[in-house]
Amino acid sequence: MSYKVYELRDSESGGIDQSGLESAEVWSIQKRYVIGQCPGGFYEVQSAIGPYAPRYVRNPFGRAWRRKRLNIKGLGKAVFEVSADYETLTPISGEDAQDDNNSDSNFVPGSLAWDTTGNTERRTQAISERVVGDAGIDMQGAINVSGTTVQGIDVVVPGMRYSETWIMPLAVGLSTAYVADVFRATGKLNKSKFRAFAPGECLFLGARAQWSGDQPYVPVTFEFQARPHDDEYELDGLPATTKKGWEYVWIVYDQDVAGSRVVAKPKAYVFDTIYDETEFSALRITNRDPGRKVTGETPTAAAVAAAAFTGDINVPANPIA
């Protein structure tokens, strides 16, 4: 069956929604047609318009446009007006207005968040001690002592939660090899400097991603937690030393006599390493700036944006009955 199909003058009207991800925009266009010789009505039109308004099409950048809605309106005598609404998620171009075309070389920054409300750790030894009353009692910095048992207390120490979200090409974000690299880096410390964190200060907690089948990019969020190194770590009764951010510290005690009481006397620090280190380069974000400069559009960028609406949907020549 042949149909007469005409594309209307106002076809390819569109818009850009910038209210979503900071680094991406939703582009939408509408194609409009008139199709005749469809006595089968709605059911025949939705099938016959397929070659002119398919479910998926690609623009010159290779991105997939998804047909979000198809509207069919009868005009009488087997003639119908059809509008097809398309949309796609489009990352904002960089300063050079170059599109990555699904390349690994141009990830797009999404969002960044940090939180310095700190962490808690158990302390059994005080920084200093003050005794009021029996001057003969000297607990030598031990906290919350019952007999010879040092129970300690939970204290707040410097710490930071940090996260970054990146918009990645499908070729990277859905790669099983890349997911395996991220998986193996989870629970590891940074071997080299990462962002503002010195080697060994930043713990990678893992990443999460969720992909919708109609999006040509994958948002991936990376979670980190940081603790600073301390070059002047000192507790009462013990010498000053250095402590790495993620070392676990505990105290070895001996029994001593303070006045008429047997007390716990600090003898030595024990610094335990509990996390291995690795290069965060496996995450593929270490050599990229998480921030994006905000500048005016250049003529080149404007030209690229305009070109994105040209030739997006290839409509075959109108067949003649």
Does the pLDDT value for residue 84 go beyond 90? yes
Distance CA 252, CA 271 (A): 11
Distance CA 138, CA 266 (A): 12
Q: What is the pLDDT of residue 99?
A: 43
- Nearest Cα to Cα of residue 255 among 156, 121, 140: 140
Three-state DSSP state, 282: helix
Report the chain's mean pLDDT, rounded to a whole number.
77
Does the pLDDT value for residue 320 go beyond 60? no
Helices and strands: H and E segment counts in the chain: 4, 20
Give the tens place of pLDDT for each residue, 161-187.
Answer: 999 988 888 888 888 999 999 999 999
Mean pLDDT of 102-125: 67
Element (H, E) at 123: strand 119-123
Q: Write down all domains in the chain, each with its CATH number in brackets.
A: 5-94+298-307 (3.30.70), 108-283 (no CATH)
Distance set, CA 309 to CA 6, 13, 40, 107, 134 (Å): 19, 9, 33, 23, 85
- Name 249's bridge partners: 271
Does the pLDDT value for residue 59 go beyond 60? yes
Please check whether residue 278 is in contact with residue 203, taking contact to mean a CB–CB distance below 8 angstroms.
no
Residues 6+ apart with CB under 8 A from 205: 186, 187, 223, 224, 225
